[in-house]
Structure 1
Amino acid sequence: MEMVFRAIAIYLILLVVFKIAGRRALLQMTSFDLILLLIISEATQQALLGNDFSVTGAMLTIVTLVAVDIVFGLMKKYISGAESILDGSPVILLENGLPLSDKLKKVDVSCDDILVAARQNHGITEFSKIKYAILERNGHISIIPVESE
Structure 2
Amino acid sequence: MDSVLRAAAMYVALMVLFKIAGRRSLSELTTFDFVLLMIIGEATQQALLGDDFSLTNSVVVIVTLFAIDVGLSLLKQRSTWVSRLISGEPTIIVENGKLLHQRLRHARVGEADVMEAARSSQGIETLDQIKFAILERNGKISVIPRES
TM beyond 0.5: yes
Instruction: Trace 1:38-57 onto structure 2 (pairs within 5 A).
Output: 38-57=38-57
Which 4+ stretches in 1 moved above 3 angstroms?
none
Please say if residues 26 and 140 of structure 1, whose CA atoms lie closer than 8 Å, have aligned partners that are also in contact: no
* Correspondence for 2:9: 9
% identical equivalent positions = 50
CA displacement, residues 17-76 of structure 1 (integer Å, 9 cap, x when unaligned)? 011111121232211111100000000000011111122111111110010011111111
* Correspondence for 2:72: 72
Task: For residue 143 of structure 2, give the secondary structure of its aligned residue in structure 1.
Answer: strand
Instruction: Trace 1:1-149 onto structure 2 (pairs within 5 A).
Output: 1-148=1-148
Task: For residue 81 of structure 1, give the secondary structure of its aligned residue in structure 2.
Answer: helix
Q: What is the total number of aligned residue pairs between the two structures?
A: 148
Gaps (5+ residues) in structure 2?
none
Find the aligned partners of 2:135 and 2:80 in 1 and give their Cα distance. 22
Task: For residue 40 of structure 1, give the secondary structure of its aligned residue in structure 2.
Answer: helix
Task: Out of 128-137 and 22-31, give the one that drifted further.
Answer: 22-31
Deviation at 1:79, TM superposition (A): 1.9
Find the aligned partners of 2:27 and 2:118 in 1 and give their Cα distance. 14
Task: Out of 21-30 and 132-141, give the one that drifted further.
Answer: 21-30
Q: TM-score, normalised by structure 1?
A: 0.95
Deviation at 1:100, TM superposition (A): 0.5
RMSD, aligned CA: 1.0
Letter in 1 for 2:109: V
